[in-house]
Amino acid sequence: MEALLNRGIKQIIDEHAEVGPILEAYGIGCVPCSVGTCLLKDIVDIHGLTAVQEQELMTKIAKEVYPDRDIVIPLREDTAPAQGGELTYSPPIKKLVDEHAWIKRLLAQIPAVIEKLDLSSESDRRLVRDMLDFIRNYADRFHHAKEEDILFKYFDENLDILQVMFTDHESGRAHVRAIAEAVETQDRAVVCEHLTAYRELLTEHIKKEDEILYPWMDKELSDSQIGQMFSAFADVDVAFGDGPAKHIAFIETLEAASS
């Protein structure tokens, strides 16, 4: 069993396709993961399953991988909170979750913007530029900078789950560059394609952070690290001055215009 835990999950799924749906049933989406070099033991640890869920999951995987063996998975001592319960966060992590709420409100507006988008009109081009301004300055510089420059620094940045997060941030930046160029050439199809792709990417990314990464990080960080991080986040808030408040006001205006 130890050997199975130390194998890469992608390799296990490649050899035993049924393992993908088994993991998905526990909310673990390894099949579409862009990095996919995590070990099975990391996946079990990071996803915060209860002892009973972990025992069930590992029994199902062991049956797929070793159909001829009768493997009994012991029940470990339960330390993880039950999945599906209310997620709670430390104060600095809660700040990041609250910032996600504003980013999600922008994402929610994208379909309505796309539907009416007429890039021959200066006001619609300005609207897209304003959305990009929010994404670049609020979602990326303000929020992703707290993650990349502060939170992630407490962990080994080579961890697969962090590599997935960095890759997502970079993919988001690539979508923003594509939209910015296409707005100026009034290429509606490209703007819509990348706005939609950005929405899908960030929706999944935020879900991974809120439900998997942040709870796991909170569990790993000591009280003094959490205190340090809270004050480092407060410094970022001060450095950005009234910028974030202006971006939040933009979301409220956008919502009011579409309602």
Tell me the closest approach of the beta carbon of residue 96 to Fe ion, in angstroms. 6
Spell out the long-range contacts of 229-233 with Cβ–Cβ below 8 A and sequence spacing 24 or more: 229/92, 229/150, 229/151, 229/154, 230/90, 230/91, 230/92, 230/95, 232/150, 233/92, 233/95, 233/146, 233/150
DSSP 76: P
Query: Rounded CA gap, 69 and 1, in Å?
Result: 11
Query: Rounded CA gap, 137 and 134, in Å?
Result: 5
Of 190 and 236, which has the nearer Cβ to Fe ion?
Answer: 236
Amino acid in the structure at residue 134: F
Tell me the closest approach of the beta carbon of residue 150 to Fe ion, in angstroms. 12
Tell me the closest approach of the beta carbon of residue 75 to Fe ion, in angstroms. 34
Q: How many residues interact with Fe ion (rule CB under 5 A)?
A: 2
Tell me the closest approach of the beta carbon of residue 257 to Fe ion, in angstroms. 26
Query: By rule CB under 5 A, what string of x and - marks binding of each residue 122-161 to Fe ion?
Result: -------------------------x--------------
DSSP 8: B
Of 42 and 147, which has the nearer Cβ to Fe ion?
Answer: 147
173-232 positions binding Fe ion, by CB under 5 A: 209
Of 124 and 209, which has the nearer Cβ to Fe ion?
Answer: 209
Of 95 and 194, which has the nearer Cβ to Fe ion?
Answer: 95
Tell me the closest approach of the beta carbon of residue 98 to Fe ion, in angstroms. 11
How many Cβ atoms sit within 10 Å of the Cβ of residue 193? Answer: 16
Q: Which residues contact Fe ion by CB under 5 A?
A: 147, 209
